[in-house]
């Protein structure tokens, strides 16, 4: 089954969907066509040219202090961009509170990013090529028993859509790839943490997700032939998905805002629909 895109009205209704949170946990992308997030006249400059130092892909704020990283522009412009990201973080939090109230008080908001560049189509390396279908996994930042929930918004000023591909459901993908993945070594996980290659011990789940990410991106036949669909997100649209569960590739588009949030598996309405539990079920044992 290909991940469905579920269009949600301002009132929180979606045709044929009884519960937004259940659709989301089941692997849907929730798309909100008409939520307001207006820019002030001063802020319009942020979608006229990239205010980025060009060293990193994105500009972001992190942590309680919301320190801005990777930006360019005058001090006044950088402060305005920081305030815009703080406002977007509140917008994403408000969206979760209103449309996914089961997660209120349970999600932890992480980084907020401004993505002013076109999707990177230079073929730097297959591993960093996000046009290839993949699920998100972070090499240096073990996720363990957390889920990656992301809130995206297209802020392109010229009508240009954000173009994605979405792929088949996680379970079907995992069945094809799990037999090819190398086994987990608790010893090397402890070593990576001791050497500070990872910020915490890499769990078996993290190990599997990193190898899935790489195996998927390396397999050009799978990339071309696997079940998939093109999706266009128009400017002004906001979409929400578990990016560790939903197979996706970013094909094009410029100017986007993104909020990452972490949710403990145990805080899900249906923990058994998490990639953690799906992988354990496919292996027939709990993960280490
Ligand atoms: Fe991704």
Q: Which residues neighbour ligand 1 (ion) by CB within 5 Å?
A: 136
Distance 236 CA to ligand 1 centre (A): 21
- Per-residue pLDDT tens for 84-112? 999 999 999 999 999 999 999 999 999 99
Domain count of the fold of the chain? 1
Distance 74 CA to ligand 1 centre (A): 31
User: Which tokens sit at 123?
Assistant: 């073929």
- Of these ranges, 124-138, 191-205, 209-223, the one predicted with the greatest mean pLDDT is 209-223
The pLDDT of 216-243, averaged and rounded, is 98
Distance 113 CA to ligand 1 centre (A): 14
Distance 261 CA to ligand 1 centre (A): 14
Distance 249 CA to ligand 1 centre (A): 7
Q: Is residue 177 part of a domain?
A: yes
pLDDT at res. 285: 94
Distance 138 CA to ligand 1 centre (A): 10
Check pLDDT > 90 for residue 141. Answer: no
Check pLDDT > 90 for residue 198. Answer: no
Distance 142 CA to ligand 1 centre (A): 16
Cβ atoms 51, 73 nearer than 8 A:
yes
pLDDT at res. 82: 98
Distance 134 CA to ligand 1 centre (A): 6
Q: Is residue 288 part of a domain?
A: no
Distance 248 CA to ligand 1 centre (A): 6
Q: Which residue has the tokens 């923990």?
A: 271
Q: Is residue 123 part of a domain?
A: yes
Q: Is residue 98 part of a domain?
A: yes
- What's the CA gap between 115 and 161, in Å, rounded? 14
pLDDT at res. 88: 98
Kindly indicate the confidence band of residue 57, based on its pLDDT and cuts at 50, 70 and 90: confident
Which of 52-56, 98-102, 158-162, 235-239 has the weakest average pLDDT? 52-56
Q: Is residue 227 part of a domain?
A: yes
Distance 281 CA to ligand 1 centre (A): 24
Instruction: Output the domain CATH number for residue 18.
Output: 2.60.120
Distance 42 CA to ligand 1 centre (A): 31
Question: Within its chain, how far is the Cα of 135 from the centroid?
Answer: 8
Q: What is the mean pLDDT of the chain?
A: 94
Check pLDDT > 90 for residue 238. Answer: yes
Q: Is residue 139 part of a domain?
A: yes
pLDDT at res. 121: 64
Distance 193 CA to ligand 1 centre (A): 24
Closest Cα partner for 108 from 260, 211, 279? 260
Distance 149 CA to ligand 1 centre (A): 11
Structural domain containing residue 122? 5-283
User: Which tokens sit at 211?
Assistant: 């190898």
Task: Mention every residue, 6+ apart, whose C-beta is less than 8 A from residue 191.
Answer: none
Check pLDDT > 90 for residue 192. Answer: no
Check pLDDT > 90 for residue 131. Answer: yes
Distance 119 CA to ligand 1 centre (A): 12
Which of 30-34, 199-203, 250-254, 275-279 has the weakest average pLDDT? 199-203
Q: Which H or E run includes 9? A: none
Distance 243 CA to ligand 1 centre (A): 6
Q: How many residues does the chain have?
A: 288
């Amino acid at each position: 089954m290909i991940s469905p895109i579920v269009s949600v009205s301002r009132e929180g209704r979606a045709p044929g969907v009884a519960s937004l949170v259940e659709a989301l946990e089941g692997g849907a992308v929730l798309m909100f066509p008409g939520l307001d997030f207006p820019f002030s006249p001063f802020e319009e400059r942020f979608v006229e040219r990239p205010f980025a130092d060009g060293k990193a892909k994105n500009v972001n704020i992190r942590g309680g202090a919301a320190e801005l990283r990777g930006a360019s522009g005058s001090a006044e412009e950088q402060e305005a961009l920081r305030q815009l990201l703080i406002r977007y973080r509140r917008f994403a939090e408000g969206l979760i509170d209103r449309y996914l109230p089961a997660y209120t008080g349970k999600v932890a908001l992480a980084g907020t990013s401004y993505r002013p560049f076109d999707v990177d189509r230079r073929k730097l390396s297959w591993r960093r090529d996000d046009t290839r279908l993949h699920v998100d996994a972070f090499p240096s930042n073990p996720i363990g028993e957390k889920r990656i929930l992301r809130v995206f918004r297209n802020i392109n000023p010229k009508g240009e859509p954000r173009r994605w591909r979405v792929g088949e459901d996680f379970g079907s993908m995992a069945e094809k790839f799990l037999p090819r993945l190398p086994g987990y070594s608790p010893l090397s996980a402890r070593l990576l943490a001791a050497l500070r290659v990872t910020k915490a011990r890499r769990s078996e789940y993290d190990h599997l997700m990193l190898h899935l990410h790489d195996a998927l991106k390396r397999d050009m036949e799978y990339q071309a032939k696997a079940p998939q669909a093109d999706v266009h997100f128009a400017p002004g649209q906001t979409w929400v998905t578990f990016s560790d569960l939903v197979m996706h590739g970013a094909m094009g588009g410029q100017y986007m805002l993104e909020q990452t949030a972490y949710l403990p598996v145990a805080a899900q309405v249906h923990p058994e629909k998490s990639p953690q539990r799906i992988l354990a079920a496919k292996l027939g044992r709990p993960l280490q």
